[in-house]
């Protein structure tokens, strides 16, 4: 391996290749493409409904009809897939989260509508109970408020199967329960959904960056001052993430997710380098909100910092990036040719 000690100035001038645009392009190590982008979207009940998310400038909750309509542009831009997140009315939430696997539920109807209108568009569904629970936790709780693992896994299997039955291409368990990937994979196999992929949120941290998302889906008020530290990962841990990813792969995950993004790029890099599997990262709502706030205040150039942040995720090893900037970045990439 060539090391810096084997190269000396002035025989080596590293600035030479930076001198012109053509050579910078030729030696560029990592490139961002529209193929790397997944667009997270929020869907709500009704027709012709459009609601802004105050803490996420430029992001809207859309009813199914408007979502399907707007998806035509996203397909034309070449965005490979959407990730669906439902906004569930309060009167449809419960302790059991039974609405999560209703065949006529919001997500199930959205999947069917999207696949009918845009069959080439990948549809990824969130497998988690927090939009459907009255307490905002990602699972079924006991009398002390502790999320019960195995009972929750049973519910998640029901939810994942209902999404697959509706036509979801990828189910994405984001709950962080132990053993849920294996249980979902077995159910999918037995149910004939052998090509339904599982994108496992394998290293999802108990992060403070999720606040705007919880506002967007309406779970913030339900969660209140509660937290998810008993099942989401400790932000201080790195080795544990490798164990989580390895377990999910052994149980049948096709792709793995690290969440959040930029504060956890070391985890993305370790997973990609050490396990060499399809590795995704989620540039979460808090990251998006910070970028947008700085841009709107004129503190940062919005387009430049957006592209830099997404390129950093590619550089760390991410194959796919869930980002609220997906459409904006795709438009810019198209302009750049």
Would residue 226 be called left, alpha or beta, if left means φ above 0 and alpha means ψ between -120 and 50 degrees? beta
Q: How many residues does the chain have?
A: 337
Neighbouring C-beta atoms of residue 309, cutoff 10 Å: 20
Rounded-to-5 percentages of helix, strand, coil across the chain: 45, 20, 35
Question: CA–CA separation, 238 vs 268, rounded Å?
Answer: 10
- Omega before 149 cis (within 30°)? no
Question: CA–CA separation, 296 vs 276, rounded Å?
Answer: 38
**Which residues face 94 on adjacent strands?**
133
The answer to whether 136 and 79 have CB atoms below 8 angstroms apart is no
Half-sphere exposure of 312 (CA within 13 A, CB side): 14
Residues annotated as part of the active site: 204, 259
Q: Degrees (nearest 5) of the Cα angle 267, 18, 315?
A: 15
The answer to whether 92 and 133 have CB atoms below 8 angstroms apart is no
Burial label, 90 (beta-carbon count in 10 A; 0-12, 13-18, 19+):
exposed
Neighbouring C-beta atoms of residue 230, cutoff 10 Å: 13
């Amino acid at each position: 391996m060539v090391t810096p000690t084997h190269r000396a100035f002035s025989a080596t001038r590293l600035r030479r290749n930076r001198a012109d645009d053509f050579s910078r392009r030729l030696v560029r190590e990592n490139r961002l493409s529209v193929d790397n982008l997944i667009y997270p979207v929020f869907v709500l009940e009704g027709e012709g409904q459009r609601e802004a998310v105050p803490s996420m400038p430029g992001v809207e909750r859309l009813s199914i009809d408007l979502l399907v309509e707007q998806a035509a542009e996203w397909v034309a831009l070449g965005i490979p897939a959407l990730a669906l997140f439902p906004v569930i009315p309060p009167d449809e939430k419960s302790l059991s989260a039974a609405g999560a696997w209703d065949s006529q539920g919001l997500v199930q109807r959205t999947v069917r509508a999207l696949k009918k209108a845009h069959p080439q568009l990948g549809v990824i569904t969130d497998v988690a109970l927090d939009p459907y629970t009255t307490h905002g936790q990602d699972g079924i709780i006991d009398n002390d408020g502790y999320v019960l693992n195995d009972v929750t896994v049973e519910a998640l299997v029901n939810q994942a199967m209902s999404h697959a039955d509706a036509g979801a291409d990828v189910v994405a368990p984001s709950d962080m329960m132990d053993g849920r990937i294996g249980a979902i994979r077995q159910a999918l196999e037995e149910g004939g959904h052998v090509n339904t992929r599982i994108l496992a949120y394998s290293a999802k941290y108990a992060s403070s960056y999720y606040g705007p998302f919880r506002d967007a889906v309406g779970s913030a008020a339900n969660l209140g001052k509660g937290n998810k530290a008993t099942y989401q990962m400790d932000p201080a841990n790195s080795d544990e993430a490798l164990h989580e990813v390895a377990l999910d792969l052994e149980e049948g995950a096709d792709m793995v997710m690290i969440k959040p993004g930029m504060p956890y790029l070391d985890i993305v890099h370790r997973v990609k380098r050490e396990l060499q599997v399809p590795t995704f990262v989620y540039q979460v709502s808090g990251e998006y909100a910070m970028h947008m706030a700085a841009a709107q205040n004129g503190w940062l150039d919005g387009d430049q910092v957006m592209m830099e942040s997404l390129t950093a995720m590619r550089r760390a090893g991410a194959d796919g990036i869930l980002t609220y900037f997906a459409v904006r970045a795709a438009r810019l990439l198209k302009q750049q040719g």
